[in-house]
Chain A
Amino acid sequence: MSTLEQRAPAVAPSPIPVHLGGVRGGPKAATLRRDRWWVAPVLTVSALLAFVGYSTWAAFQNRDYYVGAAMHRDYLSPFYSPCITANCQVKFGPVIGSWWQISPAILILIFPLGFRLTCYYYRRSYYRSFLWAPPACAVADARPRYSGESRFPLIFQNVHRYFFYFGVIFNVILTYDAVEAFRFPGDGGIGVGVGTLIFVVNAVLLWLYSLSCHSCRHLCGGQVNSFSSHPIRYAVWKRLTPLNRRHMLFAWMSLFWVAFTDVYVRLVASGAIHDPKLF
């Protein structure tokens, strides 16, 4: 009986001669596509620039990021959580001393920003829409040279899993903030306001985004070759896989919602609107 091992060829196959640089067919055009392939890059650029613009502005404001006991609420903007500098209005106690004079958000946003910047989905998005490498499928690259993620600085995309670890820590903190949002100091103790719901949705979306991450899927079970020998990791991997298919959806929803949560807190904290208590 022949076996896979025994079937090894006696003589190594001779290589097929191939010369690169042969003449290609088709016209000398950047693309033959006639559909509106440019819509997706335009929308992506618009959305990401809007978020970066808003979050930068919000991070440098250094005010109206906390709705406290004076307003019978406990809402801390996710851009400023955990508020760990001495100049913070709230919570957690000063981990960073008074030498830190600028907005605490600058210190905090590095981690969520790094997580999203190295995220496999966002990489696809900004490579296409900002770097035009390529702008769309079957549309020529904008640059004559290309080395992908093989060299500095893009080789640092490989640190994504470490930002994922930090992302999980931030999710725990923002989940704590969502629980805190049920506190209504001086107004009955515990309740649910519109802001509470916004904070809960924010925490849920951030968890969904983190758990659907490709690195998470790999670390939890994807790196295993024999699932039958690792039933728990297989069970986790199997449940993360459907989430992973929706990673793009969770990436956009969580991005939008975290900004929306900051907007809401900012409006309530500045007195522009009142946060209605539902029950």
Chain B
Amino acid sequence: MTVTAEKLTETPTQTPLVTMRLWRGDATGGCFVDYEVEASEGEVVLDVVHRVQATQAPDLAVRWNCKAGKCGSCSAEVNGRPRLMCMTRMSTLPPGEAVTIAPMKTFPILKDLVSDVSFNYVVARQIPPLAPRPREADGTHRIAQVDIDRVQEFHKCIECFLCQDVCHVIRDHEGNKAHFAGPRFFVRAAALEMHPLDTLDRRPLLRHHLGLAYCNITKCCTEVCPVGIKITDNSIIPLKERVVDGYFDPIAWLGRKIRRKPARTPVTEPLAPQATAGANGPRPGRRSPGEA
């Protein structure tokens, strides 16, 4: 492509101003603050937030790392929808309106747009990792490609926790965090349960401790997943069906008895203690503090 001299000497057009309405505050309180800032063509929300930080609000707290939708750090709520700021183009937002950015609602706030997501790490530690069957005679584990293809989808997860944020089971009911793992960890459990080498049966854990039955499959987690994992269809519903196999289906029970298949080792207790409600935390079933 050739660039003419006229193009090179062309006066740049005026960069349009946008209003960024950012949540400013911490655990003691906060409010939205409007910032008028330039936004160039092709920019994403995170670019413009950084411009606010560079030009008008140097103390603005925003978590980010890769700016490429791979690290899952810049999760926030853009115009009320959980999204990665680095993957949300400004051109996709309604023109002429303020862009509202709030921290993830489901987790406690640290400062401004940064949330404390450590709840997820507690849940992660409760799920037993892969327990592979013994190696073959030549010391290897052989897996056919068709056996591993299905769980590869689940390994795409970048742990942005947007699915956890949008899940109403914990978003609107803080008390459920004590007995509900959330979509991200159902994806994790599905990856382990469907793994061809695994020898554990996590269904008792899913039913009694991780709260699989609390999910009412409204598919919001699938809608917000930035890497396109079909969380509900490919992990949660198959897990629910596996729980039905184990607990609610007499024909499946009879089949197991007749065939006498070697059972996998059931996991009945989580590995690490579950999170507990703090002294000032709400009772189970009560609405969260950030709710109308």
Please list the residues of chain A having a beta carbon within 8 angstroms of any beta carbon in chain B: 3-5, 13, 15-16, 18-35, 120, 123-124, 127-128, 133-134, 137-138, 140-141, 144-150, 154-155, 158-161, 214-215, 218-219, 222-223, 225-228, 234, 244-245
Contacts and interface: CB of A to CB of B under 8 A. Distances in A.
A226 B211 contact: no
Contacts of A141: 168, 172-173
Interface stretch (B7-15, B42-50, B244-252): B244-252
Contacts of A225: 147, 193-196, 198
A25 B23 contact: yes
User: Interface residues of B toward A: which range?
Assistant: 35 or more
Q: Ordered nearest first, which 7 A-B pairs have the shortest CB separation?
A: A21-B281, A22-B108, A25-B109, A32-B80, A19-B278, A33-B80, A228-B144
Contacts of A123: 216-217
A227 B218 contact: no
A134 B218 contact: yes
B290 interface: yes
Q: Of B130, B243, B285, which is in contact with the most chain A CB atoms at under 10 Å from its CB?
A: B285
Nearest to B106: A24
Contacts of B177: 20
B155 interface: no
A34 B135 CA distance: 55
B168 A21 contact: no
Contacts of B173: 141, 145-146
A24 B288 contact: yes
Nearest to A132: B168
24 contacts: A18-B119, A19-B278, A21-B174, A25-B113, A26-B103, A27-B102, A28-B289, A29-B292, A124-B216, A134-B172, A137-B82, A140-B172, A140-B292, A141-B172, A141-B173, A146-B285, A148-B211, A148-B216, A161-B244, A215-B241, A227-B146, A227-B150, A228-B146, A228-B196
Given A4-B130, A24-B288, A214 B244 contact: no
Contacts of B273: 15
Contacts of A32: 77, 79-80, 100, 102
Contacts of B25: 25
B217 A124 contact: yes
A187 to B, nearest CB: 46
